[in-house]
Every structure is written in C-alpha cells, then in structure tokens.
Homo-oligomer: A and B are copies of this chain.
C-alpha cells in the first residue's frame, strides 16, 4: 500500500459519489477481518467506476471508510458484487457491532498544496 501519503485518494474533479461507511468493530476474528478487508480493497479497486478509498480506524475499533465512485451506478454495482455481499453478511454477523452507511455526492473539494 506504499507510504502514508498514499492514504489519500486521488479523486478527479467533482461531481462523484462517496460511500461513507462508519463502523464499530467487535473484538472477534481479527485475522479473518483483516484478510477480508484487504481482499475487498483489492477487489473494489478493480471495479468499473472506482475512484479511490480512504480509511482510518482508531484504537477503540471505531472506523470510517469512504469509497469514491464515478456515479451511483458503479457504487451500487459494487454493493451487489457477489464476493462483497458475502463479506457484508459476515461483517453483520461477526465483525461489526454497529455500522452506518451514507451515500453522498461530492460537489466541491480542495486540498493542501
């Protein structure tokens, strides 16, 4: 995944779609969770319309993950990807105590130089 600067998604000019996934991890199955998270990051990156991913989780297990997509259609296609559906199911059963998903349209952005 490279150095810390690569944490930033290199998104194009707005508009584009942001899927905001806010979650609180259980303490269960850390290895399984991490393996699946890595697989999902790789798999998402290969989907049509994928623009990037930003993610941070704190020491208490609370995390924010945002995936960026060209449009609603590509975001929805990723949500219904078969392997991703299996990951979501296991997430609900084992990995997440609670989560919240918000689908948003980015209209403006700016960054440090």
Contact = CB atoms under 8 A, between A and B. Distances in A.
Given A18-B102, A18-B104, A54-B22, A4 B111 contact: no
Contacts of A57: 56, 58
In the complex, the count of this chain's copies comes to 2
Interface of A: 4-5, 7-9, 11, 14, 18, 20, 22, 24, 54-64, 66, 92, 96, 98-112
22 contacts: A4-B24, A4-B62, A7-B60, A9-B100, A18-B20, A18-B102, A20-B66, A55-B64, A56-B63, A56-B64, A59-B59, A64-B64, A92-B112, A96-B112, A100-B110, A101-B111, A102-B106, A104-B104, A104-B105, A104-B106, A104-B107, A105-B107
